[in-house]
Amino acid sequence: MAKNLTTRSEDYSKWYNELVIKADLAENSGVRGCMVIKPYGFAIWERMQAELDRMFKETGHQNAYFPLFIPKSYFSKEASHVDGFAKECAVVTHYRLKNDENGGIVVDEDAKLEEELIVRPTSETIIWDTYRKWIQSYRDLPLLINQWANVVRWEMRTRLFLRTAEFLWQEGHTAHATEKEALAEAEQMINVYADFAENFMAVPVIKGFKTESERFAGALETYCIEALMQDGKALQAGTSHFLGQNFAKAFDVKFATKEGKQEHVWATSWGVSTRLMGALIMTHSDDNGLVLPPNLAPDQVVIVPIYRSDEQFEAVSEVAKRLVTELRSKGVRVKFDNRDTHKPGWKFNEYELKGVPVRIAIGPKDVEKGTVEIARRDTLSKEFIDMSSVSEKVIALLDEIQTNLYTKASNFRKENITSVESYDEFKKVLEDKGGFISAHWDGTPETEERIKKETKATIRCIPLDAVEELGACVVTGKPSQKRVLFAKAY
């Protein structure tokens, strides 16, 4: 354990917390529940953002920006929404501080806001208040907007990336002329998220619907993608909501149809957040540290020079620099770590901890023989290869690592979806093995609540591809038409 990292089997939760800190991804700040995203962690998030942004634009969406603050009264307009979001939130009540008689600074009670402002926990209300002005006619539809923003939810128990008071996310908010179009949009976006998670993050996900009690506050239908972490707990990685006409009615957003009738528009919203960083870390990493899929790695390749003299350094550097140029010209993100303040062993350790997919070491003997040593982070295997074939090899390897990570995570998930036929079996599997449990459920919130209370497992989703299968609810024995997926979850 060169990294002094707690192992996953010792204490998975501690392993995660330590890894986030030691790999320089994020840390807690002096502000309760708010994190600092460190440069290395932020560089990964930037790569996620860039790819998602590209995918959103390719599907016709545009970015915009709406206010951070939401007047308290806006929340009251959509009844279920206020219960879901406006309760645990940051409330701005004053707009000025002043010096007190002791030289300290205090809130100026003369500067009290007439109406309190809520720091946005999500932006449906402020955005729909705006859409009323933007939408008059069918010609203004569909309106396909996304926002990259920070949001605040006053969580009591926080964990870096997984649950923080402030987090970064994107929120799409779209308006459509028909119910059908809005449903198609909500489904399209959950497919975009699944595509991103699987092909870019190498994180396999299950697409499904949330049950009524797990839906977004204000939604008629919530699509989600659910991933499985190495400790057998599920993580909701993204959601896309069909909001019906709820917000259009609450904010009076109507449009003139082609026939000249006034109708309320249909809405969706969808989002993913810095929580994805948690999913990424917990899906691939191991006891040696972070493991990054090449698509997301800020540095895909690091070159470490090995030398004892200045002359050796010169010779090794020359080769390394040639490689850097060659790899960069082929679009590979490569770093040559020529710092003389750290030894090669220290660097090996560091890049293993930080999950750099490919490490190339070059020493004086390599220069002589025309070889380099290539190590891959996912399997920790090494080999010597001919210098002339490095870039070809590296490009193939990056592809292979990306695929391997996905396959590995897929196999793990496959092994950890268990079908059960009774409540006893349900509880036993949950206890012994965890993972997703595929079971029949009678469709009532009461049974769902009972299972949650007794086992801490929730219904993660009703899979989109669930097949008709007659069965009996594992708890009540009442008839059921398809299996749903249960798990303990982050």
Instruction: Give the binding site for a copy of itself (CB under 8 A).
Output: 27, 29-31, 34-39, 42-43, 46, 62-72, 74-76, 82, 86-98, 104-105, 107, 116-119, 126, 129-130, 133, 139, 145, 149-150, 152, 154, 166, 168, 341
Residue number with CB closer to a copy of itself (119 or 362): 119
Q: What is the DSSP string of 304-366?
A: EE--SSHHHHHHHHHHHHHHHHHHHHTT--EEE---SSS-HHHHHHHHHHTT-SEEEEE-HHH
* Residue 219 CA, distance from chain mean position: 21
Helix axes 390-415, 310-329, angle to 10 degrees: 70
**466: three-class secondary structure by DSSP:** coil
Annotate 420-433 with b (16+ C-beta within 10 A) or e (fewer): beebeebbebbeee
In the numeric block, which tokens belong to residue 321?
């620099």
Q: Can you tell me the distance from the alpha carbon of 161 to that of 41, in angstroms, rounded to the nearest whole number? A: 10
As measured in angstroms, the least distance from the Cβ of 63 to a copy of itself is 5
Q: Which is nearer to a copy of itself, 70 or 306 (CB)?
A: 70
Minimum distance, C-beta of residue 82 to a copy of itself, in the bound complex (Å) = 6
Of residues 147 and 416, the one with the C-beta less far from a copy of itself: 147
Closer to a copy of itself by Cβ: residue 14 or 87: 87
> Among residues 258, 86, 269, which one has the least CA distance to residue 182?
269
Shortest spacing between CB 299 and a copy of itself, in angstroms: 12
- For residues 123 and 295, which CB has a smaller minimum distance to a copy of itself in the complex? 123
Considering the complex, what minimum distance in angstroms separates the CB of residue 41 from a copy of itself?
8
Distance CA 215, CA 387 (A): 55
Query: What is the smallest separation between the CB atom of 364 and a copy of itself, expressed in angstroms?
Result: 26
- Residue closer to a copy of itself by CB (options 167, 216) is 167
Residue whose CB is less far from a copy of itself, 71 or 471 = 71
Cα 128 → chain centroid: 25
**Residue 81: partners with Cβ closer than 8 Å, 6 or more residues away:** 75, 124, 125, 217, 218, 246, 250
Q: How far is the CB of 282 from a copy of itself (least distance, A)?
A: 21
Question: Closest separation between CB of residue 104 and a copy of itself, Å?
Answer: 7
Strand, coil or helix: what is 181? helix
At closest approach, how far in Å is the CB of 52 from a copy of itself? 14
Residue 236, beta-bridge partner list: 226
CB closer to a copy of itself, 77 vs 440: 77
